[in-house]
Amino acid sequence: MAEKKISQKTLNTSFWRWWYGNLTCFSQEHMQTFGYMWSMLPIIKELYPTKEEQIEKLNTYSPFFNTEPQIGGLVVGITAGLEEARANGAEDIDDEMINGIRAGLMGPLAGIGDSLIVGTYIPILLGIALGFAEGGSALGPLFYIIVWNVTEILFERFIYKKGYELGGTAVDLLVGEQATAFRESVIVMGQVIVGAMAASWVSVGSPLVIAKDSTGADVLLIDKLDGAFPKLLTCIFVLLAWFLMAKKNMSPVKVLLLYVVIGFVGSVLGLLG
């Protein structure tokens, strides 16, 4: 019996279906499950000739799936490779093994994807784009549209392909020793940049007068604070919001509402503004 091999065309179809459809039919109950099945469908159809087998194998992918979808392309690639091996008679690959891999990867990958792609890469790109957009220039959004989409597609295609080729060991690309060191280092850069963003984009002022100097001019509290550490008040408000969310587990919406109250009351009392 000739060895079954998924054609390049089918792999492409599967990839683009995942890339496009991972979240299009999102619900709280099934999240990315339908996108996953839709993406595996062409592969299963090519590998298994009979309808009964197709239905049975597709059923492997019906359990709940949810991760950061862009980095999740890796998992789809891995299962494409596993499915091919299973169609060629690899006996140790069964539903349980495939779903073990899927379930085991979706948590860690979500963590990496959220902190690295959504939490660091996108904000950096947007930050640069915001700089270009100053004064209302269309250059900013255009820069973001092009750079983000080109790099994301290249990255997701790359990890899908690696997942297919390397199977389970492909995970080392993202969680191996070197990759972890790389990732943590990028996050260090992210921390510095977030600091710079806070100082560049947020500006909390105060009209509060604390004294009169010898010439009779007002001495503002904010000037004294800035003399100690520039934009100290802004820094305090950012750190306070972070503290409430990260350490006190307040939801962002609650912190927002709290800040609305603080801003409103502060303005009326003449403390902020």
Partner 1 sequence: MSLFQAILIGILSMCAASTIACLGTTVGNYTMNRPLVAGLLVGIVMGDVSGVIQVAIPMQVMWIALVTPGGTVASDLRAVSYIGIPLAYVGAKAAGMDFSGPEAQGLASSISAMTGVIGITLFYGTAMMNLIWQHWGWAQLEKGNIDCLGTVDVILPLISHFVLSFLPCTLLCYFGAGAVEQVFQNLNTDVWYIKAILTVGSLLPAVGIAILLKSVVSKMTDLIYFLFGFALAASMGLTLLAATAVGAAFALVNYQLTMSKANGGSGGSDDFDDEEDI
| SS3 assignment for 1-21 | CCCCCCCHHHHHHHHHHHHHH
Q: How far is the CB of 245 from partner 1 (least distance, A)?
A: 5
- Please, which of residues 53-82 interact with partner 1 by CB under 8 A? 54-55, 58-59, 62, 66, 69-70
The whole-angstrom separation of Cα 132 and Cα 144 is 10
Binding flag, residue 136, partner 1 (CB under 8 A): yes
Q: Which two tokens stand for residue 38?
A: 């839709």
- Beta-carbon contacts of 93 under 8 Å, excluding residues fewer than 6 positions away, are 82, 85, 86
- Please, which of residues 186-205 interact with partner 1 by CB under 8 A? 186-205
Question: Pick from 95, 99, 108, 155: which binds partner 1 (CB under 8 A)?
Answer: 155
Q: Which is nearer to partner 1, 203 or 214 (CB)?
A: 203
How many chain residues bind partner 1 (CB under 8 A)? 122
Q: How far is the CB of 99 from partner 1 (least distance, A)?
A: 17
- Beta-carbon contacts of 196 under 8 Å, excluding residues fewer than 6 positions away, are none
Q: How far is the CB of 198 from partner 1 (least distance, A)?
A: 5
Q: How far is the CB of 216 from partner 1 (least distance, A)?
A: 25
Question: What proportions of the chain, in percent to the nearest 5, are helix, strand and coil?
Answer: 70, 5, 25
Binding flag, residue 119, partner 1 (CB under 8 A): yes
